[in-house]
Structure 1
């Protein structure tokens, strides 16, 4: 099903979801990511049929750079 989100047409029907390699088999707080055209989708790995958060490439890049720079460190 296609959705209009943030000026993008996003269809997660055939999205290839990936879980972090740092997620262990018994980890209960994992997210999965899918790169779908210009959109990046995140979802809870425990609820694959639940909602996904949709980000633009610029939003995703800003998040990744912030993580690399320690912006979210406690």
Structure 2
């Protein structure tokens, strides 16, 4: 997987502290989700990691977990 990194628009070229982000896409929505505006989680994959975001706020915050931690979370939720 090739990641495309983007630097914050607030960064300059003077060597200061900069934040770069990479898209975790393609994002996938749960098969149990519908189009009625309910609470949906989407997941995106990185090597060795899984990202999660709210489908209603795709530009909002994301949570990134190791694949092992993600599997443990899913097992707890299935509980």
TM-score normalised to structure 1 length: 0.69
The root-mean-square deviation of aligned C-alpha atoms, in Å, is 1.9
The question of 1:55 aligning with 2:65 is answered yes
Pairing partner for 1:22 from 28, 32, 48: 32
Matches within 5 A, 1:1-74: 1=5, 12-13=22-23, 15-68=25-78, 70=79
Q: CA deviation at 1:41?
A: 0.4
Aligned residues of 1:12 and 1:36 also touching (Cα < 8 A) = no
TM-score normalised to structure 2 length: 0.65
Equivalent pairs counted in the alignment come to 61
